[in-house]
Structures are given as C-alpha cells and as structure tokens.
Amino acid sequence: METTLRGVGVSHGVAIGEVRHMGTAVLEPPAKQIPADEAPREQGRARQAVEAVANDLIARGNLAGGEAQAVLEAQAMMAQDPELIADVDRRIAVGSSAERAVYDAFAAYRALLANAGEYLAGRVADLDDVRNRIVARLLGVPMPGVPDSEEPYVLIARDLAPADTALLDPTLVLGFVTEEGGPTSHSAILARALGVPAVVALPGATEIAEGTVIAVDGSTGDIFIDPSPEKRAELTEAAAVRASALAASAGPGATSDGHKVPLLANVGGPADLPAALEAGAEGVGLFRTEFLFLDSSEKAPTEEKQVAAYRQVLEAFPEGRVVVRVLDAGADKPLDFLTPADEPNPALGVRGLRILLEHPDVLRTQLRALATAAEGLPVYLEVMAPMVADRIDAKAFADACREAGLRAKFGAMVEIPSAALRARSILQEVEFLSLGTNDLAQYTFAADRQVGAVSRLQDPWQPALLDLVATSAEAARAEGKSCGVCGEAASDPLLACVLTGLGVTSLSMGAASIPYVRATLAKHTLAQCERAAAAARATDTADDARRAAQAVLSGE
Ligand code: PEP
Ligand code: MG
C-alpha cells in the first residue's frame, strides 16, 4: 500500500506527477584539504561538471530561442572560460576539493567582474548562477531555483517566496507541496491563483526524493507516495465529480433567499485576469500591486509601466468594481529598495502603509498612475491601504489620495487588531473596510504566517478572529459603509457563509475558489448563515467553530 502523509490542504483538486524540488541556495563547500594523489580525479570531476552545466545551458537556450538563448549561451561561455578552468585546476593541485576550488575560483572572477564597469558588473548575478549550478552538480544536490524541466511536475519546496514564484511556468506546475507555510502563506495564495492543488505545512516534504511519483489531494491535505493505479483512479474520479458539480454554478454571488454577496477575485496583475473572468468574478476585490514591483526590485516601476498594468486590470471589468491595494512591501513581501534591512522583527516594523508614508514619492506616483489609468473608463475604482493601524494612518492615506486627484473610494484594510477594535473611528476617514484575515490572524495570535509550526493559529476559523470580523462588519453597518473580506478566509466555502452571516458585504478570493463559494452560498439562506455564524462564535476552538457551523448549515 502506498504511504500517506498529511499536511494542510490549501487549494482544491488532485495532482499526480513526478516530484521536482525547488533548489535552495548553494551552501559554501567546506575548505577541507584533499591528498595530493586525489588531485587528478578531482580535476576530472570539476571539468565534467563544468561541461555538463555548459551543455545544459546551451540545450535550454536552443529550446528557448530569442533573447533567452543569447543569455544562456553567454552563461555557458562563462562556465568554460579557459582562465577560470586553469584557476580551478591550480586550486585543486594545492589541495582544494573540486567543489571548493570552483567556489573560490568563481569568487576571484566575480571580484574582477564587479569592478570592471557597469555592463560587466551587471553580469555578476549570471556568474553566480553558473557557479551555483556547477557546485550543486558536484555536491549532487538539486540545481538552485525553479526546476529545469520540460515535463509537468509537482513542485516541492521548503516554502515559496513571491520572487521565486514569479519565475514559475504555470503550464508545467501540476501542484505544490511545501514543508513550511500555512493556509495564508504565499505558496498557498499562489497555488489558488494558478488553480493548482496544494498542500502546505507538511513536515518532511523536502525529503521526498526527486522523481518520486506522488498524488496530492489539495482538499484533504493528503499526499500519496507511489500511488497504486486504483488510488489514482479513485482520486481522479472524485475530483472530476466535484469539478462537474461546480461547473453548474454561475451568476452573481447570493444566498438562496437572494441576499447579494458580490464574489470578487484576488489578482496579482493582468496575467490573473483570464481565470478571474472565466470563474465569473464580479470584479476585483484585491489587486496586489506589489507583484508589479517585484519584477523590478531595484527600484519602483515607472509611472508609465504602472499605468499600463492598472489599465489592463480596470478594462477587464467595465462597469465592475476594482479594488486596488497600494503597495504592501515588507515582512513576507520584501523589496530591496524600500524595506529596512536591519529590523529585528520585520512583520512588526516599517511595512505596508508605514513604508509608503516614509516614501511619499512612491505612494504619490502610484496614486497618480491609478488616476491616469482610470481616466475615461466607466469602472468603479476603489483604492485601499494595507496595514492601517489607527485613524491617523487612515487620514494620512485619504489625504494622499485626495492630493493625487484620485476619483475613487478610499478604504482601509483591517489587518491589525487595533483597526478592527476601533473600526468606527477609522471609518470617519475612509469609505470602506476590507478585512485582510491573513495578517489579522498573524497579529491576533502572534503567529508568523510563514512558519508551518504555528499554522494551527493561522486557522481563520479561530473564534477570536471571527469576533474581530464581526466587530468590523458591525461598525461598517452602523456607518452605512461596506466591509468586505479579501483574505484567504473568503475562499473557504463554509466559512464564506459564516462571514456573510457576520455581516460581511463582499468576498474576494483566488479565482479558482469562486465556483466553490458561489455553489455553497447559494444553498443557504441569510438567516441560516447568521445562525451558523452565531454558533461558530459560541465555541472556543477553530475545530469546534467549523463543526458548529457545519451542523447548522447541514440542518443537523
Ligand atoms: C491579508 O493579509 O489577508 C491580505 C489580503 O493581504 P496579503 O495576504 O497580501 O498580506
Ligand atoms: Mg496582508
């Protein structure tokens, strides 16, 4: 029987395929001395590794063609530079191992390049990549970074940073499994955006050997190693039955008695729009603009580039609603040119709106770009700030929006408990609230969203989190304003009913979750949702809250 492991399922569906590992940074090989008579063998090993890496780069260049081919061929030439190879040989002759000699020879070459004018200095990253590839090959560890594979695969990683995932080819990734991360980690968010099954917080995931065939059930969190043909058939059939039931759900989000709850999509940029439209999203509830900035982490993208990206998203929903979040840099989304390097606790430091208030030029450019992008479009634009702590933050953001001449509604994300507790005072400055339940859970439970060991506390069913949602929604209702949820909590169909019962006015999620949420919401009345919400809040644990809501909604 196949081995079964269990993590936390964070993106529905079943993926079956061979494992490829996300390579980690290459460690510095130890500086051990080798006996003189081993030198010729080590020199042979080094040459073979250099040849293999150069050939691989050339082969990948031939496949890619165009500009990528030129870059990969230039890298292959770096690897085969005769002086570099002679230096490696010399270092081995005086006692270095092959991997250490390559490491040191490249370090010397790197220093030369770095001081040789702007163009060559710009090639240092390429040189580092070549070095890492050769050293990884000599050490027998996976190549660093995104796997090189022409065949679709299941990606296994310790965790995935936004910068890594930007390089993934979505046509090749069948699913994800990560050792770290919780339901709100970027690996989980990305998996849902791509619509691929994913399991996170699986201890020992990175020990599953490269090439092993596994089945990932993103609904249950189960991983089957070497699944039998029967198990594969069983899993695939169950996923197909679920998918066809969902395909039948369409139209705007509403409870069975017609209480409307707009279902919106979370997007990272124009690339996510086709999936959002296909899922029938009624607009965008969270445009995470930082993905645009990750492409150019040395500096902010130009105003023109921003206008073009924003306009594409706005045009996708004519007469629909688009909620744009201004740049949320820091903590789990670091940006070299903005985030302080030496903070002991980046999640509690200068991040989100705090960074923008320290760099008003970046905020101003972004707001101006949004104003230009929206010009002449019938879209209903809303702009919100991440990490608003209090009324002072909310006012500073609203003032900046007004100064930029933005014709839009200004809002605040509720991600910090203080903002939920004093939501009414924040609503004196802004026109809507959007609950970022991922960070709200992180700060309510003092549980880092990137750490698998505390994923229990990231469970959005925690009654304390539901209390904060209720407080925010009640404040918005009292002020006659809206309060949506754009954190991952909205993508859990049962929890979406509970959030509706708590008074939340819209739900925004990765496009792939929309059909699930729509279908579940359509089965229950608003009164049932309210009863489920009250039952969940009356418990003391996330599991009990889930069970209590389930019992109400299934009519037990
Ligand atoms: C959140 O914190 O819930 C949120 C929506 O923002 P992000 O996940 O991008 O931090
Ligand atoms: Mg957040």
- Which numbered ligand comes closest to the C-alpha of 437? 1
| Structural contact between residues 134 and 50, judged by C-beta atoms closer than 8 angstroms | yes
Q: Is the CB of 415 under 6 A from ligand 1?
A: yes
Q: Return d(Cα 178, Cα 160) in angstroms, integer.
A: 8
According to the annotation, is 242 in a ligand binding site? no
Find the helix or strand (DSSP H, E) in which 551 lies. Answer: helix 542-553
Find the helix or strand (DSSP H, E) in which 14 lies. Answer: strand 14-21
Residue 122 has pLDDT above 70, yes or no: no
Q: Return d(Cα 134, Cα 46) in angstroms, integer.
A: 8
Supply the pLDDT for residue 170: 76
pTM across the whole model: 0.69
- Which numbered ligand comes closest to the C-alpha of 187? 1
Q: Return d(Cα 285, Cα 384) in angstroms, integer.
A: 10
Q: Name the CA radius of gyration of the chain, rounded.
A: 26
* Residue nearest atom 1 in ligand 1 by C-alpha distance: 436
* Residue nearest atom 4 in ligand 1 by C-alpha distance: 436
CA angle 31, 34, 38 (to 5 degrees): 145
Residue 260 has pLDDT above 60, yes or no: yes
Q: Return d(Cα 371, Cα 386) in angstroms, integer.
A: 19
Domains of the chain as residue ranges with CATH: 3-23+146-243 (3.50.30.10), 36-139 (1.10.274.10), 257-554 (3.20.20.60)
Question: CB pairs under 8 A, 24+ apart, for 93-98?
Answer: 93/39, 93/43, 95/33, 95/34, 95/36, 95/39, 96/31, 96/33, 96/34, 96/42, 97/29, 97/32, 97/34, 97/42, 98/42, 98/43, 98/45, 98/46, 98/49, 98/138
According to the annotation, is 439 in a ligand binding site? yes
| Structural contact between residues 435 and 413, judged by C-beta atoms closer than 8 angstroms | yes
Residue 84 has pLDDT above 80, yes or no: yes
Q: Is the CB of 186 under 6 A from ligand 1?
A: no
Q: Return d(Cα 243, Cα 217) in angstroms, integer.
A: 14
Q: How confident is the model at residue 386 (pLDDT cuts 50, 70, 90)?
A: very high
According to the annotation, is 288 in a ligand binding site? yes
From the CA of 437, give the closest atom in ligand 1: 3
Average pLDDT, the chain: 89
Question: β-pairing, 222-225 with 283-288?
Answer: unpaired
pLDDT in tens, 86-117: 999 999 999 999 999 999 998 888 888 777 76
Distance from residue 436's CA to the centre of ligand 1 (Å) = 5
**495 vs 30 pLDDT, higher one:** 495
Query: Which residue matches tokens 């196949």?
Result: 2
Distance from residue 233's CA to the centre of ligand 1 (Å) = 36
- Which numbered ligand comes closest to the C-alpha of 290? 1
Position 538: which residue type? A
In angstroms, what CA-CA distances link 195 with 15, 228, 496, 510, 517?
A: 11, 25, 19, 8, 14
* Residue nearest atom 3 in ligand 1 by C-alpha distance: 436
Q: Is the CB of 285 under 6 A from ligand 1?
A: no
Supply the pLDDT for residue 162: 60
Distance from residue 488's CA to the centre of ligand 1 (Å) = 8
Q: Is the CB of 460 under 6 A from ligand 1?
A: no
Q: Is the CB of 487 under 6 A from ligand 1?
A: yes
pLDDT in tens, 270-288: 888 888 888 899 999 999 9
| Structural contact between residues 362 and 354, judged by C-beta atoms closer than 8 angstroms | no
Distance from residue 325's CA to the centre of ligand 1 (Å) = 10
**437 vs 140 pLDDT, higher one:** 437
Position 49: which residue type? A
- pLDDT (mean) for 171-197: 83
- pLDDT (mean) for 521-525: 95
According to the annotation, is 325 in a ligand binding site? yes
Q: Is the CB of 286 under 6 A from ligand 1?
A: yes
Q: How confident is the model at residue 120 (pLDDT cuts 50, 70, 90)?
A: low
- pLDDT (mean) for 58-80: 76
Supply the pLDDT for residue 297: 54
Residue to probe by mutation, ligand 1, list 266, 288, 442, most atoms within 8 Å of CB: 288
Q: Is the CB of 294 under 6 A from ligand 1?
A: no
From the CA of 415, give the closest atom in ligand 1: 2
pLDDT in tens, 261-273: 999 999 988 888 8
According to the annotation, is 131 in a ligand binding site? no
Which residues are marked as active site? 186, 486
Which range, 33-42, 209-218, 230-239, 523-532, has the best average confidence (pLDDT)?
523-532
According to the annotation, is 28 in a ligand binding site? no
* Residue nearest atom 10 in ligand 1 by C-alpha distance: 439
- Which numbered ligand comes closest to the C-alpha of 387? 2
Supply the pLDDT for residue 68: 60
Supply the pLDDT for residue 245: 67
Residue to probe by mutation, ligand 1, list 290, 291, 439, most atoms within 8 Å of CB: 439
Q: Return d(Cα 514, Cα 224) in angstroms, integer.
A: 27
Supply the pLDDT for residue 67: 60
| Structural contact between residues 482 and 506, judged by C-beta atoms closer than 8 angstroms | yes
Q: Is 283 left (phi over 0), alpha (psi -120 to 50) or beta?
A: left
Supply the pLDDT for residue 61: 74
- pLDDT (mean) for 26-35: 81
From the CA of 189, give the closest atom in ligand 1: 8
From the CA of 486, give the closest atom in ligand 1: 5
In angstroms, what CA-CA distances link 511 with 213, 261, 375, 408, 533?
A: 28, 16, 27, 24, 24
Lowest mean pLDDT among 39-48, 164-173, 177-186: 164-173
Residue 121 has pLDDT above 70, yes or no: no
Q: Is the CB of 388 under 6 A from ligand 1?
A: no
pLDDT in tens, 326-365: 999 988 888 888 888 889 999 999 999 999 999 999 999 9
| Structural contact between residues 285 and 434, judged by C-beta atoms closer than 8 angstroms | yes
pLDDT in tens, 212-246: 999 999 888 899 999 999 999 998 887 887 777 67
Q: Return d(Cα 492, Cα 219) in angstroms, integer.
A: 11
Residue to probe by mutation, ligand 1, list 185, 187, 328, most atoms within 8 Å of CB: 328
Residue 102 carries which DSSP code?
H
Where are the extended beta strands (E) located within 446-514? 482-485, 506-509
- pLDDT (mean) for 394-403: 97
From 385, 465, 384, 395, select the one nearest 425 (Cα to Cα). 395
From the CA of 286, give the closest atom in ligand 1: 5
- Which numbered ligand comes closest to the C-alpha of 435? 1
Supply the pLDDT for residue 2: 67
Query: Which residue matches tokens 């609904």?
Result: 219
Q: Which two tokens stand for residue 499?
A: 């959030």
Q: Is the CB of 414 under 6 A from ligand 1?
A: no
Which range, 200-204, 290-294, 506-510, 514-518, has the best average confidence (pLDDT)?
506-510
In angstroms, what CA-CA distances link 25 with 22, 51, 188, 231?
A: 10, 21, 22, 36
Order of strands across the sheet that contains 153-157:
3-6, 222-225, 213-217, 14-21, 153-157, 173-178, 198-200, 8-11
